[in-house]
Structure 1
Amino acid sequence: MKETELEKDWMGTMKVSKAVAKMAIPSVISSLVTVVYNMADTFFVGQTGDALQVAAVSLTNPIFILFMAFANMFGMGGSAAASMALGQKNEKRVRQVSALVTYASLIVGVLFAVILLVFTGPILSLFGADAQTYEYARRYTVYVAVGAPFIIWSAAASFVVRAEGASREAMIGSMIGTIANIVLDPIFISGFGMGAAGAAIATTIGNLMASAYYLWYFLRRSKVMSLRPKDFTCREGILKGVCSTGLPTAIFSALMSVSTIVLNQILVAYGNDPVAAIGIVFKANMFITFLQMGLANGIQPLLGYSYGAGSMKRFQEVERFTKKCCVIVGVAATVLFFVAREPIIRLFISDNDVVRYGVEMLVAYMVSGPFIGILFVNMNCMQSVEHALPATILSVMRQGVLLIPLLYLLEAVAGLDGVIYGQAITDYIAVILSAVIWSKIKRKL
């Protein structure tokens, strides 16, 4: 193996602020690219002026979130396992991890495609689609199902590539898919008059192109990653290590899907306008959340490498510096969104009823914006020191055990006004609990 930056041990010796910047900035850009990517479908469908099509895309959002649940499990788990193996100079395990992530992502993607195509009707009924939105949602689901293997693998691959220190390449892969989606969205949605279905086609093609780029990277550029079938194994603790470490992130995403379904079912009782509005707000608020998530995810290889190399002092320096960055960018982004809340909603749609709901909902969702990054950093720290269970529990609480009952309780107490504050209340509880749990783990370490 030729000398690489990893062999020069820059992860263990570079000044913390520079190392964090080197890893986090491309990760943040990739996260923001993901936000733009997710916003694109809603934005261009919104330009049709049809609130029902916007509502249909919102109703199918849990499908994409479920894709990301598995992509994050394989990607985050694979990234953590690969970075620790690199810190231990175990190249064989790095090859096995990267091969597992690839083949597991493709297998799960094919299973998702089959399930969605065979059970489209019952699934959309469960999601809250009615007679007005069903056909739009059905066409979107069919096309996005075809792209499931590429959507899952391209997202997972970006994490694994970053574990090798190739944050720039991970960013490029994400940008390829996003730019393709943004270019193709207006062509299929408006140019070919396909509406919501056109958005799904653009999404599938964009992820196919991103997958092609990562395929090229693995085969031609990577020094240690592998796609060879002979390196694909579930033994030697590979599958357990990847899935258990990535499980908190996966459960976080999966329960987000469930809570989104529950939220949509509650909102449908108030009409399709609130459903369309929450879809726009969910995408817009991703900017604040993913900005901080990008920071937290970007430093994961640094945390895993430091832990694998036995350098807990450096581990804690990276943690503290990243948390400061998260709070600063969280406050700045939240203030910006509060000042521009109505123009942000109108950017997606001009329907006055949807805008009215959207402005109120966006303010409610922004309340936890300044500090949500602390939760993500704490969870990544837990996963990086092989304490996945507490992070899993926090994920379960934030998006399921606590949020879902709280949504019903708040609706009973305050109706729609109460429901929209459920996520922010849950976020603050999760942030406080994560701080308490992580401080106890640190003392033991």
Structure 2
Amino acid sequence: MSDLYGRHKAVLPDWLALYYADPIEITHGEGRYVWDAAGKRYLDFFGGILTTMTAHALPEITKAVSEQAGRIIHSSTLYLNRPMVELAERIAQLSGIPDARVFFTTSGTEANDTALLLATSYRRSNQILAMRNSYHGRSFSTVGITGNKGWSPTSLSPLQTLYVHGGVRTRGPYAELSDDEFIAACVADLEDLLGHVRPPAALIAEPIQGVGGFTSPPDGLYAAFRRVLDERGILWIADEVQTGWGRTGEHFWGWQAHAENGPPDIVTFAKGIGNGMSIGGVVARAEIMNCLDSNSISTFGGTQITMAAGLANLTYLLEHDLQGNARRVGGLLIERLRAVTAQLPGVREVRGRGLMIGVELVKPGTDTADPETAAAVLEAAREEGLLLGKGGGHNTSALRIAPPLSLTVAEAEEGAAILERALRSCVQ
């Protein structure tokens, strides 16, 4: 055990998860690669949990952060803040929400917590609809609406949560239906549920479930849900913490695959917007955002240095069409991985879109999750210089692939080749 690992275990919580039997310390990065303390280089296919959205050590962002740090780093929201206003203006316009207002936080957890505060206050209800297999954060309110027991340490909650079918296309009671039949069945289930309870405040849903293993419903499910919700005045919160900023390739936001009835009432975001800097936030219609009847601030949300990073990162990814790159390179990578795994009975599914790809592992010949093999593949890939993530609602049996959106075709091929060897060595 390394000295740093021993010190970590001595002072940090036991429940603070670490990857690998022999955890690594990442000391620096460049582009799509990072290096550990021993000097070994890795191709990064997880980006700090989808947070290094653009690239490691991107000069445009480094320069913006350095210049802002030379002026002022922080003043709180009690004073006018030009970078915060500028980034809010851009996000409001990109959100598609009319008369949008933006509030910045420091994380996705805090963004979702704020969205729950807004929705329950606006609707005067503490009931929330959430999706099975979902993940929304680690605060007391967000673990209470997380439909994944591996990441929800308590059932105590200030909210009453009702879990809805639909977030996982290939498991559950409707898995064998066609897409249209699947949507119809999920809508019927939602309507039946709402017939038994007082009207909830909101439905919160990830367009693609992140920690749940990059699972998703058929396109259009949330549009169909929205028709039911609108009839009852129930809000729709899109948790875009992992799907936002073009990662899915086809759209800038994940909700746009379900856009028949227009944008959500509330959108939350975090992770990639700061390319590693701590930015989260909420964007909502003015009447919803302004429904609170007391003062509030955010000490560290919207601080000048993180806003400078967000502005530089957003400018770079738009000017370099990283959404389009995610679509092109991600599409090639998905097809390459499907070809690689077609003859491996321990691989149940390769799914996702853009540069948000899941590889679900099961015990061969069954639908039983195989978290031990997933952990072994993670270790084998690490040994060959590839960093992956893992997740899933069935005991973390899905490999999660989410590299920076500037990934090149050559790097995608390099990573796929390493993953192929790791899978063949571990999966039956």
TM-score by length of 2: 0.31
Structure number with the higher strand fraction is 2
TM-score by length of 1: 0.30
Structure number with the higher helix fraction is 1
